[in-house]
Amino acid sequence: MSVLAVSEFSSRILNWYDRHARVLPWRGHPDAYAVWVSEIMLQQTRVETVIPYFERWMRQFPTVGALAEAPEQVVLSAWEGLGYYSRARNLHKAARIVVSDHNGQLPGDLIQLRKLPGIGRYTAAAIASIAFGQDIATLDGNLKRVFARVFDVSAPADGPAGEEILWALAEKHVPPGRAGDYNQALMDLGATVCLPKNPFCLLCPLAELCKARALGVQDERPMMKPKAPVPHKLKAAAVLVADGKTLLKQRPAEGLLGGLWEFPSAEVDADSPEALAAAIETEYRLRVNPMARMDEVRHAYTHFKLTEIPWRCELIHIPEDSLLKWVEITELLQYPMGKVDRAIAKKIEKSGK
């Protein structure tokens, strides 16, 4: 593509952005910390969901130092509801590294940024361009879609070959001095005009340059690798209440929902009290007598779908070395939980028993 065409691509998207840029709370913060927090929150989460979380987060943890000093459970509680909790744990770990190794200032160097937990190629480039004004391209899902359509990239965008083609296109068109605006303009275009389905091509500033539109294949771009079937898991949970307390378990720090609290639960192969009792004894060495089935809770995670069936149970035996914790029902909602266990907790808290 000629230099003139490169200039036209950049000027079109920047002119559009100057008129139609979304008003977002993190764009009103000049500091790199706010940009960093917003970029982490926006990973796999919609803007409208992120906005109230970002605003609360910045009130609760207004600086890197404030975040670094906070206990992990407080950080996880502030993140509750956004999902993908490894993002919060990594943000917390990285804040402590920034304080200890960088005098509390987020580094602007790409290599140093990439060394921080939770900051990959995309996030490092976004921070460097938006917060530090560096002439660096970035590439998220919205940008992939825009470039795949404008340049009719047929290689799967979620495969290594297709992704490298799209990164090269993004880097080729960076306008010197306005990389941050360029990246945010493409994010906004992908979020509001170049939509995954039914894009508003007539409103797009790049419509005249769009090869996929000219060929009538815009709805087929970006190409993606075939998705494997999503497995379904069935779990049962034991809800044990005694003397105004209920029994909880804290999940391991690493992995799905790391560090969050949950009711004792295990995968089962049948929706029955016998299956629950056997699974709970195997998993926790608890002996329970299931008394009443509660309403099931359903949730879709990234790689599987879950149906969890809580049972109110009578406790028969708990080993002395059990790592489970009795928690006051009046304090139950203070413990950070995933959505499934939070739904169960709310039912218990509401009933008071």
Domain membership flag for residue 15: yes
Q: For residue 25, what pLDDT is reported? A: 95
CA angle 197, 201, 207 (to 5 degrees): 135
Residues 139, 246 within the same domain: no
Question: Distance (Å, rounded) from C-alpha 107 to C-alpha 114?
Answer: 10
pLDDT digits (tens, 9 = 90+) for 290-305: 999 999 999 998 889 9
Residues 36, 69 within the same domain: yes
Q: Which contacts (CB < 8 Å, 24+ apart) does range 93-98 have?
A: 93/117, 93/118, 94/118, 94/119, 95/64, 95/65, 95/67, 95/68, 96/68, 98/64, 98/68
Percent of the chain with pLDDT over 90: 88
Percent of the chain with pLDDT over 70: 97
pLDDT band at 322 (very low <50, low <70, confident <90, very high): confident
Domain membership flag for residue 226: no
pLDDT band at 353 (very low <50, low <70, confident <90, very high): low
Q: For residue 352, what pLDDT is reported? A: 63
Domain membership flag for residue 43: yes
Question: Distance (Å, rounded) from C-alpha 344 to C-alpha 241?
Answer: 13
Residues 282, 137 within the same domain: no
Q: Is the pLDDT of residue 4 over 50?
A: no
Which amino acid, 124? A
Residues 178, 202 within the same domain: yes
Containing structural domain, residue 271:
232-351
Residues 55, 182 within the same domain: yes
Residues 243, 304 within the same domain: yes
Q: Which of 170, 200, 220 is the last residue in one of the domains?
A: 220
Residue with tokens 């660096």, as numbered in its chain: 136
Residues 205, 308 within the same domain: no
Q: For residue 256, what pLDDT is reported? A: 86
Round to the nearest angstrom and report the end-to-end CA distance of the chain: 68
Q: For residue 87, what pLDDT is reported? A: 95
Q: Which of 220, 254, 280 is the last residue in one of the domains?
A: 220
pLDDT digits (tens, 9 = 90+) for 113-151: 999 999 999 999 999 999 999 999 999 999 999 999 999
pLDDT band at 1 (very low <50, low <70, confident <90, very high): very low
- The predicted model gives 105-109 an average pLDDT of 95
Q: For residue 2, what pLDDT is reported? A: 46
Q: Do the Cβ atoms of 255 and 89 come closer than 8 Å?
A: no
Question: How many domains, the chain?
Answer: 2
pLDDT digits (tens, 9 = 90+) for 219-254: 999 999 998 899 999 999 999 999 999 999 999 888
Q: For residue 5, what pLDDT is reported? A: 56
Residues 204, 239 within the same domain: no
CATH code of the domain containing 111: 1.10.340.30
Question: Distance (Å, rounded) from C-alpha 107 to C-alpha 232?
Answer: 42
Which amino acid, 86? S
Domain membership flag for residue 151: yes
pTM for the structure as a whole: 0.85
Q: Is the pLDDT of residue 3 over 60?
A: no
pLDDT band at 351 (very low <50, low <70, confident <90, very high): confident
pLDDT band at 349 (very low <50, low <70, confident <90, very high): confident
CA atoms within 13 A on the CB side of 344: 32
Residues 279, 193 within the same domain: no
Domain membership flag for residue 186: yes
Domain membership flag for residue 227: no
pLDDT digits (tens, 9 = 90+) for 7-35: 899 999 999 999 999 999 999 876 899 99
Q: Positive or negative, the Cα torsion across 121, 140, 13, 153?
A: positive
Residues 283, 139 within the same domain: no
CATH code of the domain containing 245: 3.90.79.10
Q: SS3 for the chain, per residue?
A: CCHHHHHHHHHHHHHHHHHHCCCCHHHHCCCHHHHHHHHHHHCCCCHHHHHHHHHHHHHHCCCHHHHHHCCHHHHHHHHCCCCCCHHHHHHHHHHHHHHHHCCCCCCCCHHHHHCCCCCCHHHHHHHHHHCCCCCCCCCCHHHHHHHHHHCCCCCCCCCHHHHHHHHHHHHHCCCCCCHHHHHHHHHHHHHHCCCCCCCCHHHCCCHHHCHHHHHCCHHHCCCCCCCCCCCEEEEEEEEEEECCEEEEEECCCCCCCCCCEECCEEECCCCCHHHHHHHHHHHHCCEEEEEEECCCEEEECCCCEEEEEEEEEEEEECCCCCCCEEEEHHHHHHCCECHHHHHHHHHHHHHCC
Q: For residue 6, what pLDDT is reported? A: 58
Q: What is the mean pLDDT of the chain?
A: 94
Burial of residue 75, with CB atoms counted within 10 A of its CB: 0-12 exposed, 13-18 middle, 19 or more buried:
buried
Q: Is the pLDDT of residue 63 over 70?
A: yes
Catalytic (active-site) positions? 39
CA atoms within 13 A on the CB side of 82: 31
Question: Distance (Å, rounded) from C-alpha 136 to C-alpha 117?
Answer: 21
Question: Distance (Å, rounded) from C-alpha 56 to C-alpha 333?
Answer: 18
Domain membership flag for residue 184: yes
Residues 199, 275 within the same domain: no
Domain membership flag for residue 82: yes
Q: Which of 175, 190, 220 is the last residue in one of the domains?
A: 220
Residues 79, 114 within the same domain: yes
